[in-house]
Amino acid sequence: MLTNYLSLLVLLGCSFDVVRAAVTVYGQQPLGMTLTSDSGPMPTKAAYNRTVLIPPPPPQPPSTAFGISLQPTADRVTGLSVRQSGTFYGFSIEMSVVNQVLGKNSSFIQVPFLNLMGQLQHRAGAVHIRCGGNTQEFATYIEHLDHDAAIAKERANLQNPTQTPAVLYTMDLFYIFSNISSLVNVKWFLGIPFNDTQNWRLQIAEYGQRILGDNLLGLQAGNEPDLYASHNHRPATYGPFDYFGEFGDLVQTMANNPNIPVKNNLIGPSIATGDWIPEQVWDTNYIEAYKDYLSILTVEHYPNNNCFAQFGGSGSLKIPQEEFVKYLNHTAGVDLVRPYLNSTRIAQDYGKPFMMFETNTASCGGFPGISDTFGATLWALDYGYQMAQSNFTGALLHVGGQNVFYNPFTAPPTNQSAFHQWTLGSVFYSVLVMTETFGKTNQSQILDLNANNGNIHTPGYVIYDEGRLSKVALFNYITDPSGASNYTATISVGGGETGSPNSTPAQVKVKYLTSDSVATKDTIKWANQTFGGDFEVNGHLKGDLNIVTIDCNQQENTCQIPVPAPGFALVFFGEPYQDTSDITFSSTAFTKLMNTATVDPAVLATSNGMSAKEREKIGSTSFGSMDSGATRSYGFVSASLVAAAGLFSALLLWT
Ligand SMILES: *[C@@H]1O[C@H](CO)[C@@H](O)[C@H](O)[C@H]1NC(C)=O
Ligand SMILES: *[C@@H]1O[C@H](CO)[C@@H](O)[C@H](O)[C@H]1NC(C)=O
Ligand SMILES: *[C@@H]1O[C@H](CO)[C@@H](O)[C@H](O)[C@H]1NC(C)=O
Ligand SMILES: *[C@@H]1O[C@H](CO)[C@@H](O)[C@H](O)[C@H]1NC(C)=O
Ligand SMILES: *[C@@H]1O[C@H](CO)[C@@H](O)[C@H](O)[C@H]1NC(C)=O
Ligand SMILES: *[C@@H]1O[C@H](CO)[C@@H](O)[C@H](O)[C@H]1NC(C)=O
Ligand SMILES: *[C@@H]1O[C@H](CO)[C@@H](O)[C@H](O)[C@H]1NC(C)=O
Ligand SMILES: *[C@@H]1O[C@H](CO)[C@@H](O)[C@H](O)[C@H]1NC(C)=O
Ligand SMILES: *[C@@H]1O[C@H](CO)[C@@H](O)[C@H](O)[C@H]1NC(C)=O
Ligand SMILES: *[C@@H]1O[C@H](CO)[C@@H](O)[C@H](O)[C@H]1NC(C)=O
Ligand SMILES: *[C@@H]1O[C@H](CO)[C@@H](O)[C@H](O)[C@H]1NC(C)=O
């Protein structure tokens, strides 16, 4: 019995040490449940799919050395982007899955989620999350739902393209958002349902503004309106001028609604760039007409789709192995961004931010063997940098349910949350690196270096921060275990030109993002640290941080940076972000939470393998003790071991 108990704790991963070191959470009685007989098989849903594809062969001959010549200050560089923030990459969470990802209700928030967002906040200052997607369009406010749930799904709506069911939500949804924002600095985008523009349902705007205040960044007005006609949500004749008109109706309706005090934070047009191009919307005079109400101009786009495999219908089956190569070079991001270059210019002319409001590897769930691999990590990072250098001001990676392959993070299935931790998607690492690339100053500018004569397998970017050379980002998309495709980039700063003396530093620091292959997902490491494999993620990085110091040759004006194949290097001319364990939040709510949280050992003991209904009967009255000796119950900790496990880690990291 004791063995079973220990294996339960071991399954909680690194929490075990934490539990042992800092918190006493259990009585002396052995547990009555066994893991092996009750835990059942690992879930087989898409988010945990194990497909491994074959990486493309290395190009021949390999290109293993090239130079990069840089200016020490931004004023000597033409074509740098607008000023960017570490919050550039955020998330778009499908409304129908918020209860899986964020928490069941406002007093039951997923701690692994908080920890993951905390990681990003520490690096970027904040995290931007949109709650919406296809399901926002039919979302309907309701006073009360069974079991005090914050959200519930109606039966599937067959007219809905991705077959996501209509969502019912209560006031508690807003408290989930605001409670999260009181713990980690998450700012929210919400969306106004647009399925019925004769009978507006504006509770999202009313309650969102009232409850979230400044934590509400904006309200999306229409989701992918260019697909309304083809998805049978509007007549076949529906065009950009119809959307223009509906947007105007919304502006008018909001103007007359005293419960929506902020009138100027609308977001649009969020076209999928499927049936329309942005210029068709700009040509309706949209920006000029609504510039006093629009706070952000947006588009949405996925480079590919896996709809046939998921839903059948017209189109054709795509073979993941054949699609894989499309994600594994620099052309992917460049091609994705090109259709928007005119629009980012126009947005600048109007002084408006321009965001990619929803994107990921492929719509209809992504691809097995692609969407969750290191290849996707490199793809999303390069794509993000490419958007940033092209004057997008942000982008949101979509989070679907457990039936999609591309999630940046996935909670375990509800009935397995007792013994499984979270699963990270490989694109989460792209977001993590992005936060460190742009940091907290809001003054980063980036430029594609067209490195190695524009070789599509070895792109690079330079980043200036507050006008000074800050970082270089170097990609190697090639998988080549022989090592023959490793390359060395030789960086020179200044020198040669009049007025730009040799300013190569004595040394630089490098963080590497690595994996065995672009096809794998289990070996991804950032500066030698990992969040862990499937069902192992509690939101903390594991392993010893390894920042490599490279000595430069100041006589010759060179810094030689090796980049493995595959791999990515972020070269810091200043001090890199360093994880510290004495992180604190200013939030008093969180402090209070930490000091008072206790966990019921009965919950730890018995939640394994039980049905949700059975689990509901188990109280959350707490006993056990913390090292402080305080023993008080707190509503936050309830019958979820995953929350409990994460909380222990949070206690360690955040106290
Ligand atoms: C969890 O639920 C799924 C689907 O309802 C079921 O197949 C699986 O066996 C359940 N697992 C456990 C451990 O109860
Ligand atoms: C992964 O997903 C594909 C497509 O749904 C499926 O055919 C395959 O069996 C899954 N493989 C694994 C190992 O889960
Ligand atoms: C819009 O969605 C709501 C909620 O699902 C539904 O009650 C309403 O009938 C829909 N209206 C239209 C015009 O489709
Ligand atoms: C929140 O959800 C938890 C877990 O399902 C439940 O135990 C608790 O009663 C709920 N709290 C409220 C206020 O609804
Ligand atoms: C969380 O939400 C509840 C409403 O359910 C509210 O009473 C409570 O004050 C909130 N806690 C924090 C820390 O915001
Ligand atoms: C940019 O967009 C504007 C507005 O739609 C259009 O008039 C102009 O022709 C476009 N320019 C290019 C180069 O596409
Ligand atoms: C590079 O990526 C593009 C765009 O996704 C793809 O079409 C092309 O086949 C790839 N080229 C090589 C050589 O891998
Ligand atoms: C981004 O904006 C800057 C500043 O306006 C401009 O110099 C640069 O050319 C733009 N980049 C692209 C790719 O449009
Ligand atoms: C960066 O921008 C955010 C959002 O506008 C702001 O809250 C933050 O204070 C800014 N940081 C700095 C250093 O100015
Ligand atoms: C290529 O890089 C990898 C990872 O850094 C390293 O282990 C290997 O020794 C290198 N191979 C060659 C031939 O340089
Ligand atoms: C990487 O982390 C592991 C622990 O996970 C440690 O044993 C190893 O020494 C670290 N490597 C470097 C180079 O720091």
pLDDT digits (tens, 9 = 90+) for 609-625: 222 222 222 222 222 22
Write the pLDDT tens digit of every residue in 368-406: 999 999 999 999 999 999 999 999 999 999 999 899 999
Q: Where are the alpha helices (DSSP H) in 284-400?
A: 286-290, 307-311, 320-324, 331-337, 341-349, 374-389
Query: DSSP class of residue 211?
Result: I
Quick one: how many helices (H) and strands (E) in the chain? 21, 27
Residue nearest to atom 8 of ligand 1 (CA): 40
CA of 544 to the centre of ligand 11 (A): 5
Query: DSSP class of residue 388?
Result: H
Q: Which residue has the tokens 């002084």?
A: 351
| Residues at CB less than 6 angstroms from ligand 8 | 79, 81-82, 341, 344, 348, 390-391
Q: Which residue has the tokens 């905390």?
A: 118
Peptide bond into 501 cis (omega under 30): no
Per-residue model confidence (pLDDT) at position 158: 60
Structural contact between residues 385 and 446, judged by C-beta atoms closer than 8 angstroms: yes
Higher-confidence position of 586 and 118: 118
Structural contact between residues 122 and 428, judged by C-beta atoms closer than 8 angstroms: no
Q: Residue 312: pLDDT band by 50, 70, 90 thresholds?
A: confident
Q: Over 80: is that where the pLDDT of 19 sits?
A: no
| Closest ligand 9 atom to Cα of 441 | 13
Per-residue model confidence (pLDDT) at position 545: 95
> In this structure, what is the dihedral angle of CA atoms 583, 584, 590, 592, given to the nearest 10 degrees?
120
Whether ligand 11 lies within 6 angstroms of the CB of 544 is answered as yes
Give the span between the Cα atoms of 111 and 108, in whole angstroms.
Answer: 9
Per-residue model confidence (pLDDT) at position 233: 93
Q: Over 70: is that where the pLDDT of 455 sits?
A: yes
Q: Where are the alpha helices (DSSP H) in 23-110?
A: 35-38, 98-101
CA of 112 to the centre of ligand 3 (A): 35
Report, as an integer, the average pLDDT of 430-443.
Answer: 98
Question: What's the token pair of residue 292?
Answer: 């006093």
Q: Over 80: is that where the pLDDT of 594 sits?
A: no
Which of 523, 528, 542 to mutate for ligand 11's pocket (most ligand atoms within 8 Å of CB)?
A: 528
Q: Over 50: is that where the pLDDT of 604 sits?
A: no
CA of 641 to the centre of ligand 4 (A): 14
Query: Which helix (H) or strand (E) is 218 found in, with range?
Result: strand 216-221
Helices 427-438 & 374-389, crossing angle to 10 degrees? 40
CA of 329 to the centre of ligand 7 (A): 6
Q: Which one-letter amino acid corresponds to residue 79? A: G
547, with CB counted inside 10 A (0-12, 13-18, 19+), is middle
Whether ligand 7 lies within 6 angstroms of the CB of 338 is answered as no
Q: Where are the alpha helices (DSSP H) in 390-540?
A: 427-438, 451-454
Write the pLDDT tens digit of every residue in 108-128: 899 999 999 999 999 999 999
Report, as an integer, the average pLDDT of 597-604.
Answer: 27
Give the span between the Cα atoms of 130 and 357, in whole angstroms.
Answer: 8
Structural contact between residues 434 and 357, judged by C-beta atoms closer than 8 angstroms: no
Write the pLDDT tens digit of every residue in 397-436: 999 989 999 999 999 887 777 778 999 999 999 999 999 9
Report, as an integer, the average pLDDT of 640-644.
Answer: 33
Higher-confidence position of 416 and 576: 576
CA of 32 to the centre of ligand 1 (A): 20
CA of 88 to the centre of ligand 7 (A): 26
Write the pLDDT tens digit of every residue in 628-638: 222 222 222 22
Residue nearest to atom 8 of ligand 10 (CA): 483
> In this structure, what is the dihedral angle of CA atoms 637, 101, 518, 371, given to the nearest 10 degrees?
160
Q: Residue 43: pLDDT band by 50, 70, 90 thresholds?
A: low
Ligand that lies nearest to the alpha carbon of residue 135, given by its number in the listed order: 3
Residue nearest to atom 11 of ligand 6 (CA): 342
Give the span between the Cα atoms of 229 and 276, in whole angstroms.
Answer: 11
Q: Where are the alpha helices (DSSP H) in 338-485?
A: 341-349, 374-389, 427-438, 451-454
Q: Decide: helix, strand or coil at residue 206.
A: helix
CA of 205 to the centre of ligand 4 (A): 25
Give the span between the Cα atoms of 630 and 624, in whole angstroms.
Answer: 9
Question: What's the token pair of residue 338?
Answer: 């090109």
Per-residue model confidence (pLDDT) at position 634: 25
Q: Which one-letter amino acid corresponds to residue 499? A: G
Per-residue burial over 455-490, b = 16 or more CB atoms within 10 Å of its CB, e = otherwise: bebbbbbbbbbeeebbbbbbbbbbbbeeeebbbebb
Handedness of CA 576, 579, 582, 587 (dihedral sign): positive
Q: Where are the alpha helices (DSSP H) in 538-600?
A: 588-596
Q: Where are the alpha helices (DSSP H) in 504-611?
A: 588-596, 601-606
Which of 11, 35, 36, 415 to mutate for ligand 1's pocket (most ligand atoms within 8 Å of CB)?
A: 415
State how beta strands 507-514 and 548-551 pair.
Answer: antiparallel
| Closest ligand 2 atom to Cα of 405 | 2
Give the span between the Cα atoms of 394 and 372, in whole angstroms.
Answer: 22
Higher-confidence position of 368 and 597: 368
Residue nearest to atom 12 of ligand 4 (CA): 148
Q: Which one-letter amino acid corresponds to residue 490? A: T
State how beta strands 167-169 and 151-153 pair.
Answer: antiparallel
Ligand that lies nearest to the alpha carbon of residue 330, given by its number in the listed order: 7
Report, as an integer, the average pLDDT of 451-474.
Answer: 97
Q: Which CA distances in Å does 94 have to 91, 134, 202, 337?
A: 10, 7, 19, 23
Q: List beta partners, residue 76.
A: none
Q: Which CA distances in Å does 119 have to 11, 185, 186, 585, 652?
A: 22, 11, 12, 12, 14
Write the pLDDT tens digit of every residue in 197-229: 999 999 999 999 999 999 999 999 999 999 999
Give the span between the Cα atoms of 18 and 441, in whole angstroms.
Answer: 34
Give the span between the Cα atoms of 540 and 184, in whole angstroms.
Answer: 15
CA of 339 to the centre of ligand 5 (A): 44
- Nearby residues of 110 by Cβ (< 8 Å), 6 or more positions away: 101, 102, 103, 411, 642, 643, 646
Per-residue model confidence (pLDDT) at position 63: 82
Which of 486, 515, 560 to mutate for ligand 10's pocket (most ligand atoms within 8 Å of CB)?
A: 486
